[in-house]
Structure 1
Amino acid sequence: MNVCLFFEGTGRGVAGKMTNVTRLRDLCVDDTRQKLHLEAGPGTHFGSYLAGKIAGVDWRTTFRSARRWFEANYETLPKDGIATAVFLFGFSRGALIARHFAAWLDKLGVAVAYLGLWDTVDAAVGLDVAADLPRNVRRARHAVSRDETRKFFQYVPLKGDKAKVVEMLFPGSHSDVGGLYDDNHLVADLALAWIAAGAKREGLRFRRTARLSQKLDATAVVLHDAHGESSNLWGAFDRVRRNLPRIRLHFACKGL
């Protein structure tokens, strides 16, 4: 039995553009043996996307909603020896909440089979999470943007035993890696496939029609400088190059 929670980025999901989080959810089998739950990003529940961005307070609403769903569903699972595997996924501030959720499960003594993240950022949410992988997480993958420069979008590292956690660098901005741009999905698709491959190894079940590849035509890739986001609220602040010590670039991205 798999229990899977997906945390979208700020303002994404129900009322906004979908990212790799929702795309991954849509590739998964949804039946009695694999329960799926998608949480719209912080700011979506808040009623004001901009207010959620500025205040950074809506993560609590997202977390509580996910907690209620998990408690209601986890308690109804069969207790006749059938193993339950918990999968958590998130992008941007949704990744931050997914990590907080994993830490909460650790306090309950609930193991997490897999934690899949796209470019964890704080960005004024006000939610502190430890850099170290929670003890209850068996495996984790973190896709990190190489070229994001917005000061408020500095990535939050994920550290731990190399046998358990892998961070991988992908070219492009924060939203390139998370799958937010409509004009070019090549890097986003690659980051999606890499996260999905790790989840499949841990038992996540995909639809037969799901097609994921970790190959890339580098000549067709379009990378963005935070795209139109550079002119919005977050782009108005200072730029700073990310400190990315010893994170390997995905093998398909050499030369980009």
Structure 2
Amino acid sequence: MGIQRPPQDLEPPPATAPRSSAAAESPPVCSFSSPPVDNSTDNSQSADPPIVLQLPADSEPLLHRSAGPLNLPRSAVECTCRTSREGRNLVLCIDGTANQFSRMNSNIVELYSLLEKTPTQLTYYNSGIGTHVKHSTGWRSWMSPAAQKQALAHAIDMAVASNFEVKVLAAYQWLVENYQDGDRIFLFGFSRGAYQVRVIAGMLHLVGLLHKGNNEQIKFAYELYRNSISDDTRNIDPQRAEKPLCDHFKRTLSRPNVRAHFVGAWDTVSSVGFLRERMLPETITGMKHVCAFRHALALDEKRVKFLPEFANGGGSPSGGHIKEVWFSGSHSDIGGGNIDNPAVNRFGPSLRWMSYEAILCGLRMVPHVGEWKPIPLTDSMTWVWRVLEYIPYFVPRLSYKSQDDIERW
């Protein structure tokens, strides 16, 4: 498997992990840092923020230019979202289904832990669908009506993503309340969280980002977006098309020229339950409305309900701003959350690649040291999922043959 070579003849971190579960002898230790831009310098020189990514002194540097830090090409951090070099970064992260901060942290938690949190880079994290704060231990506590109600709500959320909209609106509201002209918007997500950040990017494109102080209109903006018609028209009632109204809404209530600068997704899944809703607008039609789209995909995921949502449906990528790269492993091997990671220092292959790509687009991360070693790969096709594979349950579009396909699950 190959990765597109980045500019300036730089070699990215390896995209696939060795399949052996044994730890390599004397694994190398890597470190990277992305210092903030020094705005006190003469901007007329078009100085770029340096990126440092190197191995120990006795090893060959992974990325280097002579003996000094690496300067990024101007094209790596400037794009069509019209952000300025002096603008801030707004970094929004949404975790995968059932993923939250715990002993088994996902790549989303680990990425968030490595972000610079400064006045020039604001950050947001939300746990995934199906997460909740557990009651205190003890059977009496769990037998209470409140606990039973919460357990039922948790089960429903896991099955049909009943809180999908809640998390999208909360993240969108954070952008409304914090965005300033010239800011760059970075969106990261895993699994259903990856689909949610793609929905947010679609909202920014179709209905825009509301002016601050209009929080009461956020729900209405989502309804307009959800009912709009884009290139993806399957299962959408033409009578509910609201595209012209979206345009008027955007011009009237939203800020001009706001779009997602970078979207980083780990193995996007739109539904991981027994029900599958129609696709939402601008999520699988090429991602042309974002400046950079990076997608890490699970090469060894066999479960049909974890069919990934590619940037352009089942077609080829629609442009050079998209990179969709396959990594060895199943769904949770790629997004994390399947092995102990309490210290959030796993820094596996897909996270290294995603970090590298985001840094090239202006993301600022703290210096970090971690071992490069093989990661254990897991077989996601457990006996429970094997049984479910043979249930004669009919759901729309479980293949890419056509938009109208119906396949047996």
Cα distance change of structure 1 residues 151 and 128 upon mapping to structure 2, 3 Å threshold: same
- Counterpart residue identity of residue 25, structure 1: Y
The one-letter code sitting in structure 1 at the alignment partner of 2:163 is D
Task: State the alpha-carbon separation in 1 of the partners of residues 196 and 331 from structure 2.
Answer: 17
The answer to whether the aligner puts 1:179 opposite 2:332 as a matched pair is no
> Which secondary structure state, in structure 2, belongs to the residue aligned with residue 106 of structure 1?
helix
- What are the within-5 Å matches in structure 2 for residues 199-218 of structure 1? 199-208=358-367, 210-211=368-369, 217=373
Equivalent residue in structure 2 for 1:110, among 254, 258, 261: 258
Name the SS of the counterpart of 1:52 in structure 2.
Answer: helix
CA 1:14–1:182 in structure 2 vs 1: closer, same or farther (change >3 Å)? closer
- For residues 32-69 of structure 1, give each alpha carbon's deviation from its aligned partner in whole angstroms, at most 9, with x where no partner exists: 10000011111226954322111222111111111121
> Contact 1:179 / 1:188 at 8 angstroms: preserved in 2?
no
Within 1, Cα distance between the matches of 2:346 and 2:304? 22
Q: Percent of aligned pairs with the same residue?
A: 27
1:40 maps to 2:127: yes
- AA partner of residue 111 (structure 1): R
Q: Which moved more, 1:143-152 or 1:10-19?
A: 10-19
Which position in structure 1 is the counterpart of 2:307?
Answer: 154
AA of the residue aligned to 2:297: V
Q: Which AA in structure 1 matches 2:90?
A: V
How far has the Cα of 1:144 moved from its partner? 0.3
Unaligned stretches of 5+ in structure 2? 1-87, 134-149, 209-256, 391-397, 401-409
CA deviation after TM superposition for structure 1 residue 110, in Å? 1.4
Matches within 5 A, 1:245-256: none
Residue aligning to 2:192? 93
- The aligned amino acid for 2:348 is D
Q: How many residues align?
A: 228
Report if aligned partners of 2:101, 2:109 keep a CA contact under 8 Å in 1: no
Match of residue 26, structure 1, among 85, 103, 113: 113
Matched, 1:4 2:91: yes
Larger-gyration structure (1/2): 2
Contact 2:104 2:339 in 1 (8 A): no
Amino acid at match of 2:326: L
* Partner of residue 50, structure 1: 155
How many Å apart are 1:180 and its aligned residue? 1.5
How far is 1:131 from its partner?
Answer: 1.5
Distance, in Å, in 2 between the alignment partners of 1:29 and 1:224 is: 32
**CA displacement 1:184-218 (0-9 Å, x = unmatched):** 9999710001111111011000112x2478xx65x
Q: Following TM superposition, by how much is the alpha carbon of 1:101 offset from its aligned partner in structure 2, in angstroms?
A: 0.6
| TM-score normalised according to structure 1 size | 0.79
Inter-CA distance 69–14: structure 2 relative to 1 (3 Å threshold): farther
3-state secondary structure, aligned to 2:294: strand
Residue type at the aligned position of 1:59: F
CA RMSD in angstroms comes to: 2.9
**Aligned CA distance change for structure 1 residues 15 and 52 (closer, same or farther; 3 Å):** farther
2:342 aligned with 1:237: no
The separation in 2 between residues aligned to 1:187 and 1:170, in whole angstroms, is 16
Structure 2: distance between partners of 1:4 and 1:57: 25
Question: Relative CO higher for 1 or 2, CA cutoff 8 Å, sep ≥ 6?
Answer: 2
**SS of 1:166 mapped into structure 2:** strand
Q: Could you say which residue in structure 1 is the equivalent of 2:404?
A: none
Counterpart pick for 2:379 among 220, 225, 234: 225
TM-score by length of 2: 0.51
Inter-partner Cα distance in structure 1 for 2:323 and 2:101? 30
